[in-house]
Copies of this chain bind each other. A is one copy, B any other.
Amino acid sequence: MTETTLRAAYAGARAIVAGGLGFIGSNLARRLGTLGADVLVVDALLPDLGGNRHNLDGAQGRIAVEIADLRTADIAPFVAGRQYLFNLAAQTSHQGSMDAPLDDLDLNCRVALRLLEACRKASPTVAVVFASTRQVYGRPNYLPVDERHPVAPVDVNGVHKLAAEAYHTLYRKVYGVKSSVLRLTNTYGPRMRIKDARQTFLGVWLRAVLEGRRFEVWEGEQLRDLTYVDDAVDALLLAGAAPKAEGGVFNIGGGRRVALKHLAKTLVAVHGGGDYSIEPFPATRKRIDIGDYHADDRLFRRITGWKPRVALKDGLARTLDYYRGNLAPYL
């Protein structure tokens, strides 16, 4: 069902993926390629972010790559004649946004706004899909969190993602630019940044088990739902293709919720070895921690038919397999 829908929408279509050398962006670009789309990837390859040239190695289909910084580059030529724009260009580190809030402003707000301005002027019929974050909710008042949950960001990244969401809603209402916003939760899988924790703590854990080092689990009781990247990619593609999803803001979750200490245990079991310690939360992180999170994503499932297909153990196994054969480019 999903496959048929996606092939109908994307075979022969012209799509652009901003941040397409990054983790989710490259997985999306690769999938678009196999669906038969004509894909333009634009990425700045900024050292602190997720872009990695290796992420498109061996990709199939027609994928062109432009190295350009969307904070300043002329965007009109990139979006002209495109039917789909997926905006995965982002600074995603919560602590990073506190350490360098003005960089976060440019990377998240300025880029999103410049992309929408370019669409409005050069390509008003493009369907825009924006990858947002569950971080906009802050510390949940109730679980699972649905889209009516109040927003109250606890870090600068959350403030900026919320503003970028609002641009999309606004440009749809005022200018008729088609847009949808997906609030992603922790997404993991091949091609994520694992050299540090800038793309979820799980990157650090993965690297540690692969290198035979011990990793730290902070507290460990926090609940999360994780989305395997292929499932997140399906959601992004369905959002772009679904007319009913235009202008909507949707949660994307994953499977069952899991406590971080259980996630650590599962990771070690799937890898067949590894060690970790449970540590208290560092104070600088604790003050921007959101506690437990679990998405209610029934709205998006109902509208698009999406559902996650990769269980946690399988997802972790595929991820570890990928890095066993490709570790060096990610260190």
Residues of A bordering B, CB below 8 Å: 98, 101-102, 105, 109-110, 113-114, 117, 153-156, 159-160, 162-163, 166-167, 170, 173-174, 287-288
For the complex, give the distance between the alpha carbons of A153 and B160 in Å: 15
The 4 A-B pairs of least Cβ separation, nearest first, read A163-B163, A159-B166, A174-B287, A159-B163
Return chain B residues, CB-CB under 8 Å to A173.
154, 287
Q: How far is the CB of A160 from chain B (nearest CB, A)?
A: 7
Give chain B residues whose Cβ lies under 8 Å from the Cβ of A166. 153, 159, 162
Compute how far the CA of A181 lies from the CA of B166 in the bound complex, rounded to whole angstroms.
Answer: 20
Interface of chain A: mostly helix, strand, loop or mixed:
helix
Q: Which listed residue, B98, B102, B113, touches A101 by the CB 8 Å rule? A: B113
State how many angstroms separate the Cβ of A133 from the closest Cβ of chain B.
Answer: 14
A102-B113 contact given A156-B170, A170-B156, A170-B159, CB 8 Å threshold: yes
Can you name the residue of chain B whose Cβ is closest to the Cβ of A104?
B113
- How distant is the Cα of A266 from the Cα of B117 in the complex, in angstroms? 41
| Closest B residue, CB atoms, query A102 | B113
Kindly state the separation between the CA atoms of A287 and B171 in the bound complex, as whole angstroms.
11
Q: How far is the CA of A170 from the CA of B287 in the complex (A)?
A: 10
Q: How far is the CB of A287 from chain B (nearest CB, A)?
A: 5
Residue of B nearest to A164 (CB): B159
Residues of B within 8 A of A102 (CB): 110, 113-114, 117
